Amino acid sequence: MANVLILGAGMMGSAFSFPLADAGHAVRLVGTHLDREWIVAVRETGIHPKLKIKLPEGVTPFTHDELAEALTGAIDLIVLGVNSAGVDWAVEQLGPLLKTPPPILMLTKGLRAVQDRLRILPDIVREGLARHGVSTTKVGAVGGPCIAGELAARRDSSVVIASADAAFLDRVLPLLAAPYYHAHPSTDVVGVEACAAFKNLYTLAVGFPAGLLAKQGRAPNDAFMHNLAASLFAQSLREMEHFVHFMGGASANVRGLPGAGDLYVTCQGGRNTRLAYLLGSGLRYREAKARYLADQTLEGAELALAIGPTLDHLFQQGTLNPVVFPLAAAILDAICRDLPMQVPWTAFHRE
């Protein structure tokens, strides 16, 4: 039996306790400062109020101010389940407390723009911990189609565990050996992480036709807009592949679970899909956010706002060819410049 600490008691962080506990491990679930009410509810009832399901036996909840207590004794794995905006907070919480750090596995998805570079979050975490004197940390990541509610219901899920370090994969993969959690190794950390981030951005496009259909109304024969959605899906994968190449990753993960698989499942529902629907219905981003999603973290929009200025600069200087990324440009216009979402049909599928 291993001791695993999950930092972040949101839906995915908490859902990740299921395969760990079902594999026989002791799980310490530590909420962030935003998760206190959920941790209190789990202590009182055992039921996570957002997942709406009882957490497994063997999961012990802690509030964020009890992190030092949760780290007491041997910890075999730390899982980061905070949102992308909470990565720096998590590093600042963990850094002063870690002496001989266990491996860290990131559920958090996103990218950072640093000067003219797009950086993956495992590198940001590793460098942040090094500033606290913790310089030997191995940080890997999870990618692929895995909705938190389905994982908590113990539905079969296939994912990729990514690390450039073979010893990390050999150590972590056996910890996830629940019968319904099918984890596959990959050494392409950049490819997995780029797919995991960009799929949230492109969901804003693939989900757009549902809102457009609601705005225009059904056709006389009740036809939907699946053709449009499929075209946007294909263009999204094409552009994701170019982004992955630019960052130094491989194409295989774009066509596999972290790319096509995760984009597909993300488009089935959730906050990014809700925003996409609102954009398709004719609302602009700021109005949609303020009226309907004010208290929601919208990963696709957050990514656009975080890296949009850098992408604009890379397009302008020719480091990235803007002709290759018409859909990304349309999304950046909608989110960063609050323009109506438009589908640039004549620019699609040129290769």
| Residues 178 and 205 occupy one common structural domain | no
Confidence (pLDDT) at 269: 85
Give the model confidence (pLDDT) of 17-59 as tens digits: 999 999 999 999 999 999 999 999 999 999 999 999 999 999 9
| Residues 86 and 59 occupy one common structural domain | yes
160 and 184 Cβ atoms separated by less than 8 Å: yes
Bridge partners of 104, per DSSP, are 78, 139
Domain boundary residue, one of 187, 220, 253: 187
Confidence (pLDDT) at 120: 96
Residue 294 clears pLDDT 90, i.e. is over it: yes
| Residues 156 and 197 occupy one common structural domain | no
| Residues 179 and 217 occupy one common structural domain | no
| Residues 239 and 276 occupy one common structural domain | yes
Assigned token pair, 194: 């780029």
Structurally, the chain folds into a number of domains equal to 2
| Residues 72 and 208 occupy one common structural domain | no
Domain boundary residue, one of 170, 187, 204: 187
H or E element, residue 66: none
Give the model confidence (pLDDT) of 218-239 as tens digits: 889 988 999 999 999 999 999 9
d(CA 14, CA 35): 11
Residue 106 CA, distance from chain mean position: 9
Q: How far is CA 214 from CA 231, 272, 275, in A?
A: 19, 17, 14
| Residues 171 and 224 occupy one common structural domain | no
Confidence (pLDDT) at 101: 84
- CATH number of the domain at 36, please: 3.40.50.720
What average pLDDT score do residues 201-229 get?
92
203 and 272 Cβ atoms separated by less than 8 Å: yes
d(CA 203, CA 198): 9
Q: β-pairing, 139-143 with 181-186?
A: unpaired
| Residues 210 and 341 occupy one common structural domain | yes
Q: How far is CA 189 from CA 108, 120, 122, 139, in A?
A: 13, 9, 9, 10
Q: β-pairing, 157-162 with 139-143?
A: antiparallel
* pLDDT, the chain, mean: 95
- CATH number of the domain at 251, please: 1.10.1040.10
| Three-class DSSP labels, 183-209 | EEEECCHHHHHHHHHHHHHHHHHHCHH
Confidence (pLDDT) at 136: 85
Q: How far is CA 329 from CA 96, 204, 311, 316, 335, in A?
A: 41, 12, 9, 12, 10
Domain boundary residue, one of 146, 171, 187: 187
Q: How confident is the model at residue 100 (pLDDT cuts 50, 70, 90)?
A: confident
Give the model confidence (pLDDT) of 103-159 as tens digits: 999 999 999 998 889 999 999 999 999 999 998 899 999 999 999 999 999 999 999
| Residues 18 and 88 occupy one common structural domain | yes
| Three-class DSSP labels, 74-139 | CCCEEEECCCHHHHHHHHHHHCCCCCCCCCEEECCCCEEEECCEEEEHHHHHHHHHHCCCCCCCCE
| Residues 31 and 180 occupy one common structural domain | yes
330 and 205 Cβ atoms separated by less than 8 Å: yes
Give the model confidence (pLDDT) of 164-187 as tens digits: 999 999 999 999 999 999 999 999
Q: Which domain holds residue 119?
A: 3-187
| Residues 134 and 270 occupy one common structural domain | no
Query: Above pLDDT 90, what percent of the chain?
Result: 89
Residue 351 clears pLDDT 70, i.e. is over it: no
Residue 297 clears pLDDT 90, i.e. is over it: no
